[in-house]
Amino acid sequence: MSFFLHKSNFLFRTVYPDFLWRLGEKQADEPTIYLTFDDGPIPGVTEFVLDQLDKYEAQATFFCIGDNVSKHRDMFYKVIEAGHEIGNHTFNHLNGWKTHDEVYWANIRKCQRQMSIATNLFRPPYGRIKKSQAAGLEAEFSVVMWDVLTGDFDQTLTPETVLQKSIKYTKPGSIVVFHDSLKAWTNLHYALPRYLAHFTALGYQFRAVPQPVYA
């Protein structure tokens, strides 16, 4: 069974205070959730996500793996054409803790070239990145972590558990992680439409993480 926290830990935020964990709460009558999707694009799965987001006029940020962009470029362009933001998730889904800094940075640049669009958003796969690696990115990327990890990738969790845990920990301003991957498909297929319906009924809006502006 995977071990992870559905809610990001205060200690993690303290160790990495410059990372983006959540965004400021909106006023009570316009609470906002920042949905993100990791590991795509994957035909079928990403298309399902786009269809669900469209039903609720929801915007999101897709942190793409460069290798998947290379294999499924048409699907990648569908994400862009639907008006969503794009982020870098390395070319090969590298674990920063197990990767030399120069190799890690080169893999990020390779992903950037493959996407061939400008993005200043980066999410480290598994949330694992060394401080030295992050220091080398700060001039051009905002490192986006999360407030809520849905756990849709964990095949030991039931789809209902994924849904209820995600609902429980989401607050105004939360950055929430789903995965448009084959591994997450069963849980995602069940939880995402119900999650969107639940928070839409409560008056929430769904927005993409804004791209930072660098001089």
Q: Which amino acid is at 157?
A: L
Q: Which amino acid is at 42?
A: I
Q: How many residues does the chain have?
A: 215
- Taking each helix axis as running N to C, give the angle between helix 185-201 and helix 159-169, from 0 to 180 degrees, rounded to the nearest 10: 40
The candidate with the shortest Cα–Cα distance to 34, out of 10, 57, 58, 18, is 58
Both tokens assigned to 22: 């959540």
> Do residues 60 and 199 touch, judged by C-beta distance below 8 A?
no
Both tokens assigned to 123: 């999410």
Q: Determine the Cα–Cα distance for residues 90 and 107; give it in Å rounded to an integer.
A: 6
Q: Determine the Cα–Cα distance for residues 39 and 46; give it in Å rounded to an integer.
A: 10
DSSP string of 178-190?
Answer: EE-STTTHHHHHH
* Phi, psi for 175 (deg, rounded to 5): -95, 120
Please provide the distance, in angstroms rounded to a whole number, between the alpha carbons at the two ends of the chain.
44
Q: Which residues are catalytic?
A: 38, 179
